[in-house]
Structure 1
Amino acid sequence: MPHDIRVVTETELRELVKLDLDLVNVVEQAFVALGRGDVIMPPIMSMELPQLNAEVDAKTAFIPGFDGFALKVSTGFFDNPKRGLPSLGGLMTLLSATDGAVRAVFLDNGFLTDMRTAAAGAVAARHLAPETVTTAGVIGTGLQARLQMRAAHLVRPFERVLVWGRDLEKATLCAADLGRDIGVEAEVCTDPAVLMKRAQLVVTTTPSFTPIVQAGWLHPELHITAMGSDAPDKCELAPEALARADLYVADSAAQVETRGELRTALERGVWPGTPVTELGPLILGAQPGRNSARDTTIADLTGTGAQDTAIATHVFARLGDAGTLIST
């Protein structure tokens, strides 16, 4: 039978979706569903295109009780900035969990992925960072660095943010943006070790292929969220850091073995082999979390299809008259 498909542009989505506590709670429910163990989530389909300096990923997940499920395609064409184009793109489709029909196509160019990734960082900080955070730090200077700090401030309202990046000019611009947008003291650090020493909450947001954060930089009352290692061969944390932390937590144990920080630790034989704690069961209380304010904790976020389904269904419920209806 004919049915309508809602096609929504990035511009329209930006009017509908804001980085706020409502969005953080939506993404947290995706982790809760994963923690219950009833989500159907296949491995990420990833296609590396080295001759194009590009990659393409596809993610999906079915969450029982949701009216629909998302199928998301993300692209990264990393020579695009030379052409005056953004390096990241893609789209999301929302399919009916009743009959499989396409309900909506979100032409978001990666916007929804950016938002749910930032919200996931806030979920990790909410459940793993010390209760009191006066100084937060971000390693990286791109869009996600800005979004992660804005999201972290929602759940841990820090007074000061430190920024480190390989490019001092970009780090200075990022710090200025964060100081203005969040309304906190913002400072550039020229040494990542100093940033780590001064902060209680640090988010790493780089596409690095070699470790930036060293194990010896970990200290009591520190939480690190590593979200840049979302593909094979990427690595932001020295593998020894994972074993040195009091608690290492993954968004998906299966994913971090192949594309997260754990992958390098396993390859180098420095992971003790203990079962990996996942964020979902930790939220539910089925797995232990931070024991004291002095614990050192690490969250390894690689991005899950469950997060995409959560934000896609959230957006669809808020569409109202937005978008263009196409009858098929």
Structure 2
Amino acid sequence: MPDIKILTEADLRQAIALDGDAVACVEEAFRLLATREVQMPPILSFPVPEHNGEVDVKTAYVPGLDGFAVKMSPGFFDNPRLGLPSLNGLMVLFDARTGIVRAVLLDNGYLTDVRTAAAGAVAARHLSRAGSTVAGILGSGIQARLQLEALTLVRGIKRAVIWGRDAVKAEACARDCAEKLGIEVTTGSIADVMAAADIVVTTTPSCEPLISGAMLRPGQHVTAMGSDADYKTELAPDVIPAATLFAADRLAQSVKQGELRPALAAGTVADTGQFAELGQIIAGQKPGRASDMDITVCDLTGTGVQDTAIATLAGARADAAAAGTTITS
């Protein structure tokens, strides 16, 4: 059997960063999802309720890429009490021509963090006002930090407001972001965030809505990326109908486990056929923001095509750098 490369989180951090290349990689993945015969099965997902956990498995075959990935991603949200991270996981990279395992990527969720933040940047690039300068973040964890950093890659962000359930953690997040990004970062209530921000990103595992339609302002863009299971929601059912434009990374996933699910259940949305997928907007198949007064909302539930794209890029860069450990099977 062919050799298999083992890549640790340290190897992968050397190969991939949250930068313009990562954003371009994910942007192209969304475009291919809209324009090529991508094979992307529904997410395999199940809860582990007695330990406040969940497990997701995502994958996709993308014509034109020489590999495809299968990602296993556990999230156990009581882990911080044990001194452990909430998220971890790994990806397995296969050769697209032969199906042979090429590499095992022991990233502990790092690649998922990068591709998720990059997706937020892609959504902002295509749906927010070009002149947006104030960001708002709901959440204070790793993804909150990365989403703000990602916004600075595509918009001239000068100031940010952060809200978190834990005020101490929110303050720490604000200090960290201000120091790393060199911008003004403060904390406030959800109402403060919504009143100030041109772009709002929600990054929580909330099971109760955080944003209502009445909070939206003309010209604002909201990216909701925390709801990726059928018991989560960050947007009240009146948010989507209040928006000028709603898009999702994958409409079928938004219906099942994203923000379309509660809106459909409440009857505030009846027909999903009117909505676009982000890749369709990128590819020019459906219109995006039409004016600076539009209110735009994007639901990111996370797609296997992103995982395949970032894993393929990581594998190629690791090969070029001769990184990792090769195992002869």
Bin for the TM-score computed over the shorter chain: over 0.9
Q: Evaluate the alpha carbon distance shift between residue 274 and residue 99 of structure 1 in structure 2; reply closer, same or farther with a 3 A threshold.
A: closer
Task: Verify the 8 A CA contact 2:90 2:107 in the aligned structure 1.
Answer: yes
Give the drift of 1:274: 4.3
Aligned residue pair count: 326
Unaligned runs of 5+ in 1: none
Alpha-carbon separation, structure 1, partners of 2:123 and 2:52? 31
1:131 equivalent to 2:145? Answer: no
Moved more, 162-171 or 143-152: 162-171
Give the drift of 1:312: 0.6
Question: 1:321 aligns to what?
Answer: 322
Question: 1:23 aligns to what?
Answer: 22
Listed one character per residue, the Cα deviations across residues 50-102 of structure 1 (whole Å, up to 9, x for unaligned) are 12221111000000011110000000122221211111111001001111000
Question: 2:13 aligns to what?
Answer: 14
Alpha-carbon separation, structure 2, partners of 1:234 and 1:147? 21
Question: 1:230 aligns to what?
Answer: 228
Question: 2:39 aligns to what?
Answer: 40
The structure 2 residue matched to 1:252, chosen from 234, 250, 254, is 250
1:51 equivalent to 2:50? Answer: yes
Question: 2:61 aligns to what?
Answer: 62
Alpha-carbon separation, structure 1, partners of 2:35 and 2:102? 27
1:105 equivalent to 2:99? Answer: no
Task: Verify the 8 A CA contact 1:61 1:305 in the aligned structure 2.
Answer: yes
Question: 1:176 aligns to what?
Answer: 175
AA in 1 matched with 2:261 = R
AA in 2 matched with 1:311 = I
Give the drift of 1:168: 1.1
Alpha-carbon separation, structure 2, partners of 1:83 and 1:224? 33
AA in 2 matched with 1:325 = T
TM-score by length of 1: 0.98
AA in 2 matched with 1:266 = L
Alpha-carbon separation, structure 2, partners of 1:187 and 1:117? 23
Moved more, 70-79 or 304-313: 70-79
SS of aligned partner of 2:290: coil
Question: 2:86 aligns to what?
Answer: 87
Question: 2:211 aligns to what?
Answer: 213
SS of aligned partner of 1:88: coil
| Cα RMSD after superposing both structures | 0.9
AA in 1 matched with 2:285 = A
Task: Verify the 8 A CA contact 1:227 1:300 in the aligned structure 2.
Answer: yes
Listed one character per residue, the Cα deviations across residues 135-162 of structure 1 (whole Å, up to 9, x for unaligned) are 1110110000000000011001211011
Task: Verify the 8 A CA contact 2:79 2:86 in the aligned structure 1.
Answer: yes
Listed one character per residue, the Cα deviations across residues 262-300 of structure 1 (whole Å, up to 9, x for unaligned) are 110011111141412100011111011000011000010
Task: Verify the 8 A CA contact 1:243 1:272 in the aligned structure 2.
Answer: no
Alpha-carbon separation, structure 2, partners of 1:285 and 1:65? 20
Listed one character per residue, the Cα deviations across residues 238-274 of structure 1 (whole Å, up to 9, x for unaligned) are 1110011000000001100011011100111111414
Alpha-carbon separation, structure 2, partners of 1:108 and 1:87? 14
Task: Verify the 8 A CA contact 2:219 2:294 in the aligned structure 1.
Answer: yes
SS of aligned partner of 1:81: helix
Moved more, 82-91 or 113-122: 82-91
Task: Verify the 8 A CA contact 2:54 2:74 in the aligned structure 1.
Answer: yes
Question: 2:186 aligns to what?
Answer: 187
Moved more, 67-76 or 49-58: 49-58
Alpha-carbon separation, structure 2, partners of 1:37 and 1:212? 36
Task: Verify the 8 A CA contact 1:70 1:93 in the aligned structure 2.
Answer: yes
Alpha-carbon separation, structure 2, partners of 1:54 and 1:18? 27
Give the drift of 1:37: 4.3
Give the drift of 1:16: 1.6
The structure 1 residue matched to 2:241, chosen from 231, 234, 243, is 243
